[in-house]
Chains A and B, each alone.
Chain A
Amino acid sequence: MSAADSPASPDSQGTPEALILAKGLRKEYGDFTAVDGIDFRVNRGESFGFLGPNGAGKSTTMRIIAATLTRTSGEITILGKDPEVSGPEIRAHLGVVPQQDNLDNALTVEDNLYVYGRYFGLSKKFIRNKIEDLLAFAQLEEKRGVKVEALSGGMKRRLTIARALVSEPEILMLDEPTTGLDPQARHILWDRLFRLKEQGVTLLITTHYMDEAEQLCDRLMVMDKGKIMAEDSPAGLIKKYSTKEVLEVRFGADRNAQYADQLRGMCERIEVLPDRVLMYSDDCEAVLHEVVSKGMQPTTSLVRRSSLEDVFLRLTGRSLVE
């Protein structure tokens, strides 16, 4: 029995409650299939990630979950409800952070939060109190009276996340939360998301950054061309689809391919990329030693731990960020 077949509510064996259950979920746009019959389950309190390149179907899946896009076929329930029947009832419990910020540029930081809270029917008093919390959370206290158009990219992103939290959602959905942000802004955001997770908020994240997926997600679904390639924890995926370590060697563009056959015998698996060769093994120092002892002199070599990038390469034969 697959995970998606299990009941949505917690049973006597302590199976966690499923907030989202999808079976055979499919979305077509004319001849193009964006989401190709996928099954998945997200449990309460989990941080669940969709990892894949642009066009993999992540955002489409997110919009179906967000009850703003209709599916072509298949089944899906969010909080036990069908989005095509109970759109508003589902959206009442979601916090949505879209790929592109859609704040009201003409309004101040504070007014953006206020207006959004009103869309959830929350009282003025409740929202006014909440705004104080949210401004602190997003580190925007000093910008409260500033119009959104004057904020930096990182600040806008934090405000969009704060806005999504005004209604204390059961599920926070983040579509590419840190794309386009500088490293410092990303780390601040990750820290904030981590705190939310600790508070029991269920997170749904799409990303094409491996480090983000590893940092934030308990469980990952690797997607490509509308299909699920694999699903597990980041560590589980690495264990299942890669070795402990990777040796990266460069011989120069012409010779990488030329040495490939010889190198293949020295480790579990190799990937020949245009600029370098990746050699997979649990003991890469030994592999490097062997490469050198056979008289092949790489211009550079690097031993590192396997990452989700290696998993993706293995599953799709392509690099994630191209």
Chain B
Amino acid sequence: MAATDLSRQGSLHIIDVPKILRWGSIYIAQARIRNMLQWKWSIIGESFATPMFYLLSIGIGIGKFVNSHQAAGVDGVKYLTFLAPALLAAACIQGAVGEATFPVLEGFKWQKGFFAMNATPISGRQIANGVLLAAMSRAAFGCIIYYSALYIFGALHGLHTLWLIPVTLFAATSFAVLMMGVCAAIKNDDLFLNMVQRFLIVPLFLFSGTFYSLASMPKFLQIIGWASPLWHATEVGRWISYGHHVSAAALVIHFSYMAIMAIVGFKFAHHHFTKRLAK
């Protein structure tokens, strides 16, 4: 039999606690990404296929129809140009929310991996930050591919449109971190993610001024748009992309709204991660 005695210096000599306090979130993110890489081909495939489907069906198909009926275009531009910032933001938000919610249920309930992480010097706060960082890394990957596809299809013009990427990721972060906190807080989660998908993500996608201007909807439905980070990201995105009219005050409101959602989300997630690990 092979030697079974372990060489040993002892943890007191090999572990640097301040280093873990500084870098713990990164360690968690690395572990999450290692886990995601198990499905790298499906992630890559999905990242390329999603923009293709949307661009071909809605952008080009419906776009042709809209443009032929409305010579002036929508909001003064071609339908595809109008649509692009919204599609980008919607895809990025969905991707980020998925990657920030499913692993949280898995970590707390299904596999209990977060409890294993927390048995090391890593704190609940670091686990939350690490999971979000990994989710946003994947969202960023998807976002860059989506952006490239939009650019190649002529839906975006000029390098200034690169600003869409950080704005979109900012919106996605604010919503993903809030949803991550909600996942840590809920006890009975059997149906939760399905409900989120059906009654939150899909309506937000449909009612956030994605396909037509929010102003053309009845007031009571506009409320959904105001509450949705997708609408705020879309408004800013259209302003960046083709100079859609947004007042300075509105810009401040859009960014503040996303920032507040992010701050509240972080506080909420940190609180519930810590609380649930100590149960």
- Chain A residues with CB under 8 Å of chain B are 66, 68-70, 87-89, 91-94, 96, 98, 100, 102-107, 111, 115-116, 118-122, 126, 133-134, 136-137, 139, 141, 163, 165, 167-170, 192, 195-196, 199-201
Contact = CB atoms under 8 A, between A and B. Distances in A.
Which of A103, A126, A168 has the most CB atoms of chain B within a 10 A radius of its CB?
A: A168
B251 interface: no
Contact of B116 (A94, A98, A137, A168): A98
A94 B119 contact: yes
B6 to A, nearest CB: 5
Contacts of B44: none
B112 interface: yes
Contacts of A139: 4
Contact of A170 (B7, B10, B31, B119): B10
B121 A120 contact: yes
Contacts of A69: 278
Max chain A C-beta neighbours (<10 A), residue from B2, B23, B28, B119: B119
A89 B23 CA distance: 15
Given A88-B121, A170-B12, A102 B112 contact: yes
A248 B184 CA distance: 53
B20 A92 contact: yes
Given A87-B121, A96-B119, A199-B6, 8 more contacts: A68-B277, A88-B20, A92-B20, A107-B35, A119-B117, A121-B24, A170-B10, A196-B6
Contact of A121 (B8, B10, B20): B20
Nearest to A100: B112
Q: Is the interface of A mostly helix, strand, loop or mixed?
A: loop
B111 interface: yes
Contacts of A168: 6, 8-11, 14
B6 A134 contact: yes
B5 interface: yes
A196 B3 CA distance: 13
A121 B5 contact: no
B30 interface: yes
A116 B119 CA distance: 10
Which of A105, A120, A121 lies at the interface centre, i.e. has the most chain B CB atoms within 10 A of its CB?
A: A121
Contact of B17 (A89, A94, A96, A200): A89
B121 A89 contact: yes
A126 B20 contact: no
Interface in B23-38: 23-24, 27-28, 30-31, 34-35, 38
Interface string B107-141: 00001110111111111000000000000000000
Contacts of B3: 136
